[in-house]
C-alpha cells in the first residue's frame, strides 16, 4: 500500500512539473549549454523576437530536414529581428556532431551554410518540462515538435505542436511571425490563409453606426463584405 502511495505521489509530481505555458504569459527563463556556448533564455535576446523549436532527437531524418530548412532560412529570420533557438534532450556533444554532419550535406540542390543559431542541450529534461515539450503518451524522454513564438518583451504570442513523425511547415511559422509583427505595428487583423502583401482586416466596428461612418469615408483602400467585415489594402 505504501509503495502504491509513493508511486502515485511521484506520478502526480511529474504531471505538475510538465505544463505548457500559455499565450500572453512571460516565456519561462532558463540557462543552458548550447552549440554556441552558454545561453540565458530569453534574457540574452531581449528586444528581439524569438522562436524556440524543440526536437525529439539528433541524427533522425525528420529533425535533420527541419534543421536543414532552418539553416537555409536563417538569414531571413534575422531580417525579421528574430532569433532561432533549437533544443532537444540530447547532449551538447551530440548536438555539435549532428550539426557538423548536416553542414557537409547538399539538400534540395543547396549547399548548407554554417548553422549559427544555438542548439540547446536539455539532457536533464528541465527545459522540456517547463515548456510542456514532453508529452508522456508520446515519450517520457523525448520532446514533441514544439514551437513557441516569443515577442521582444519576452511574451509568448503563438505556439504549435506537431507529432514526432510529421515535419513542421516552416513557411507557416514564418507567416505567423510576420502577421504578429504587422498586427503589433498596425491596428489590424489578418484573415484566414493571409499571405504577406494581401489585404488585412480592420477590427469589427462596435456598432452599425460606426460601420456607416466607415462606408461614408469612401477610402479607396477599404472594402467590406458586410457591416462587420472590413478589408484594407496596406
Q: Catalytic amino acids? A: 63
Give the C-alpha separation, 38 to 31, whole Å.
7
What are the φ and ψ backbone dihedral angles of 74, each rounded to 5 degrees?
-65, -35
Q: Which cell goes with 134?
A: 514532453
Give the C-alpha separation, 40 to 53, whole Å.
16
Q: Cβ–Cβ contacts within 10 Å for residue 96, how many?
A: 15
Give the C-alpha separation, 54 to 71, whole Å.
15
What are the φ and ψ backbone dihedral angles of 229, each rounded to 5 degrees?
-125, 105
What are the φ and ψ backbone dihedral angles of 96, each rounded to 5 degrees?
-60, -45
Amino acid at each position: 500500500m505504501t509503495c502504491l502511495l509513493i508511486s502515485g505521489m511521484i506520478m502526480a509530481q511529474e504531471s505538475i512539473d510538465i505544463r505548457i505555458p500559455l499565450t500572453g504569459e512571460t516565456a519561462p527563463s532558463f540557462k543552458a549549454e548550447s552549440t554556441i556556448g552558454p545561453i540565458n533564455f530569453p534574457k540574452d535576446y531581449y528586444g528581439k523576437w524569438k522562436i524556440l523549436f524543440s526536437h525529439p532527437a539528433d541524427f533522425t531524418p525528420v529533425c535533420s530536414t527541419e534543421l536543414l530548412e532552418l539553416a537555409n532560412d536563417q538569414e531571413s529570420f534575422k531580417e525579421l529581428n528574430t532569433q532561432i533557438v533549437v533544443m532537444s534532450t540530447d547532449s551538447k556533444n551530440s548536438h555539435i556532431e549532428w550539426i557538423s554532419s548536416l553542414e557537409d550535406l547538399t539538400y534540395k540542390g543547396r549547399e548548407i551554410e554554417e548553422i549559427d543559431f544555438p542548439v540547446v542541450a536539455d539532457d536533464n529534461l528541465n527545459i522540456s518540462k517547463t515548456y510542456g515539450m514532453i508529452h508522456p503518451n508520446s515519450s517520457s524522454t523525448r520532446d514533441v515538435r514544439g514551437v513557441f513564438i516569443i515577442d521582444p518583451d519576452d511574451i509568448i504570442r503563438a505556439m504549435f505542436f506537431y507529432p514526432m513523425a510529421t515535419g513542421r511547415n516552416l513557411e507557416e511559422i514564418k507567416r505567423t511571425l510576420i502577421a504578429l509583427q504587422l498586427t503589433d505595428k498596425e491596428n489590424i487583423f489578418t484573415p484566414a490563409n493571409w499571405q504577406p502583401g494581401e489585404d488585412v482586416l480592420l477590427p469589427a466596428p462596435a456598432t452599425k453606426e460606426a460601420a456607416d461612418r466607415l462606408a461614408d469615408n469612401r477610402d479607396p483602400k477599404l472594402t467590406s463584405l458586410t457591416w462587420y467585415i472590413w478589408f484594407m489594402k496596406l
